[in-house]
Amino acid sequence: MAFTDTGTGPDGEDIADPRGDRAQHIRNDTAFFGHPRGLGFLAGSEMWERFSFYGMQALLMLYMTKLLLTPEVEPGVFGLAAFRALLSGIFGPMTDLAFAAQTFGLYSGTILVTPLIGAWLGDRVLGRTKTVSIGALLMAAGHLTMASERAFLIALLLLILGGGCFIGNLQAQIGGLYAPDDSRRTRAFGIYLMALNVGALMSPLIVGTLGEKLGFHWGFGAAGIGMLFGLVIYLVGRPHLAPDLISKGERPAPLNRAQWVTVAALIVTFLPRIFANAAAQQAYGIMVVWADGAVDRTIFGWEMPVTWVLTADGILTILGVLLANRIWMRLARRGREPGDIAKIGIGNMMIVVAFVTVGLLATLPKVPIFGWLGFYLLLTASYAWFDPPGKALISRYAPASINGTMFAVSNVASALGFFLLGWLGRFYEPLGPSLYFMLTATLPIGGAALMFLFHRPLRRALEAAESRETGQGAP
The predicted-structure confidence for 409-441, as pLDDT tens digits, reads as follows: 888 888 899 889 888 988 998 999 999 999 999
CA distance 44 to 231: 10
Mean pLDDT throughout 271-287? 89
Q: What 8-state DSSP symbol labels residue 66?
A: I
* 3-class DSSP assignment, residue 302: strand
pLDDT of residue 2: 27
The predicted-structure confidence for 185-214, as pLDDT tens digits, reads as follows: 777 877 887 788 788 778 878 888 888 788
Give pTM, 2 decimals: 0.70
| Residues near 362 by beta carbon (within 8 Å), at least 6 away in sequence | 290, 294, 432, 433, 434, 437
pLDDT at 472 over 60: no
Q: What is the mean pLDDT of the chain?
A: 82
The predicted-structure confidence for 44-84, as pLDDT tens digits, reads as follows: 898 999 888 888 877 888 889 888 988 998 999 899 999 99
What whole-number percentage of the chain has pLDDT above 90? Answer: 22
Listing DSSP states for 412-434 in one string gives: HHHHHHHHHHHHHGGGHHHH-HH
> Of residues 336 and 22, which shows the higher confidence score?
336
Q: How confident is the model at residue 8 (pLDDT cuts 50, 70, 90)?
A: very low
Beta strand 302-303 with 245-248 is unpaired
State the CB neighbour count (10 A cutoff) for residue 463: 15
